[in-house]
């Protein structure tokens, strides 16, 4: 088996957990591909047992594809998994997310469950949870690389405190003009992110929906709107500054207001490894403190 490790440089207090991951992989004798920024952190683990473990170092998506891993283990939070999707794209490499960040809806393997989850990976006691993505194109044929988002695509104002107007068309037909600070187009995966903070609904994964959530709308009747993911959206933005920002999973792009965006479902999915210790309902309860009585 071949496994790629991905992550930013972990904090000092997280190094023991990185060591646990390396130890498990060493015990199984798997080939390990190590993301270059992790190399320095792993070198801080001074143990003869780990010096025997050789790494293939990769820096980008081409080198990851050449390593050809069976799985990728993400060491970090949800943002780390979002970064990993840029490397994986349509390569069909399942991701096991180990949470070394904060909230962790995607990276939902707790540090205390690292060994059990990796054991489940080797024994085949897991399922693949396929997540849909959004992709964006421009009317000017400007190339955005990458042009997809696992969580959301956000339209926002740029260098102004004034509202923008987002004229929205659904499959070519006029839907609405959002007078707001911006508009979030979210996948079910992203429904627990920025959209949720702006009053959007929580959507079960694999629901085959997207949600349009306005950011601080001027018209209070503009509520979050759930649509099927087989629809195509066309957005035309008006702004006093004649510019706006488009964010694809926090990757920022600036456009002039003459540019229209075409947003639709991407033609590939991202696979997340889900062991018997993980399910969406328990993640919601744990992360959002559902079902806990704080009255006493």
- The residues assigned a catalytic role are 78
* Three-state secondary-structure class, residue 116: helix
Rounded alpha-carbon distances, angstroms, from residue 95 to 18, 85, 138, 247, 289 = 16, 9, 30, 23, 26
Question: Do the beta carbons of residue 180 and residue 216 sit within 8 Å?
Answer: yes
Before 154, cis peptide (omega within 30)? no
Q: Read off φ and ψ for residue 17, nearest 5 degrees.
A: -75, -35
Scan for tokens 């690292």, then name that residue: 114
Question: Which residue's entry shows tokens 């088996």?
Answer: 1
Neighbours of 269 (CB within 10 A): 17
Nearest Cα neighbor of 272 from 126, 152, 148 is 126
Please give the Cα distance from 91 to 101 (Å, whole number).
Answer: 25
86 phi and psi, to 5 degrees? Answer: -65, -35
User: DSSP string of 56-110?
Assistant: EEE-SHHHHHHH--SEEEEEE-HHHHHHHHHHHTTS---EEEEE-SSS-SSS-B-
Q: List Cβ neighbours of 43 (8 Å cut-off, separation of 6 or more).
A: none
Residues 130, 269 contacting (CB under 8 angstroms): yes
């Amino acid at each position: 088996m071949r496994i790629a490790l991905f992550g930013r440089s972990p904090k000092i207090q997280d190094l023991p957990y990185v060591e646990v991951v390396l130890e498990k992989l060493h015990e199984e004798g798997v080939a390990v591909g190590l993301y270059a920024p992790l190399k320095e952190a792993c070198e801080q683990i001074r143990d003869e047992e780990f010096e025997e473990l050789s790494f293939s170092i990769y820096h980008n998506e081409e080198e990851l594809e050449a390593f050809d891993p069976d799985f990728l283990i993400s060491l970090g939070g949800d943002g780390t998994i979002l970064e990993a999707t840029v490397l994986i794209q349509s390569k069909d490499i399942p991701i096991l997310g180990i949470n070394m960040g904060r909230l962790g809806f995607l990276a939902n393997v707790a540090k205390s469950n690292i060994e059990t989850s990796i054991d489940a990976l080797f024994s085949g006691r897991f399922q693949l949870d396929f997540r849909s993505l959004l992709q964006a194109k421009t009317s000017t044929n400007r190339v955005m690389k990458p042009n997809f988002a696992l969580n959301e695509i956000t339209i926002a104002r740029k260098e102004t405190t004034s509202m923008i107007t987002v004229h929205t068309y659904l499959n070519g037909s006029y839907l609405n003009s959002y007078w707001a600070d911006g508009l979030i187009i979210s996948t079910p995966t992203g429904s627990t992110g920025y959209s949720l903070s702006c009053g959007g609904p929580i959507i079960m994964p694999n629901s085959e929906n997207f949600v349009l959530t306005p950011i601080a709308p001027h018209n209070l009747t503009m509520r979050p709107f759930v649509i099927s993911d087989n629809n195509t959206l066309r957005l035309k933005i008006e702004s006093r500054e004649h510019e706006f920002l488009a964010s694809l999973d926090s990757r920022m792009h600036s456009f002039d207001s003459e540019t229209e965006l075409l947003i639709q479902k991407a033609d590939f999915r991202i696979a997340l490894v889900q062991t018997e210790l993980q399910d969406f309902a328990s993640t919601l309860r744990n992360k959002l403190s559902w079902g806990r009585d704080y009255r006493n």
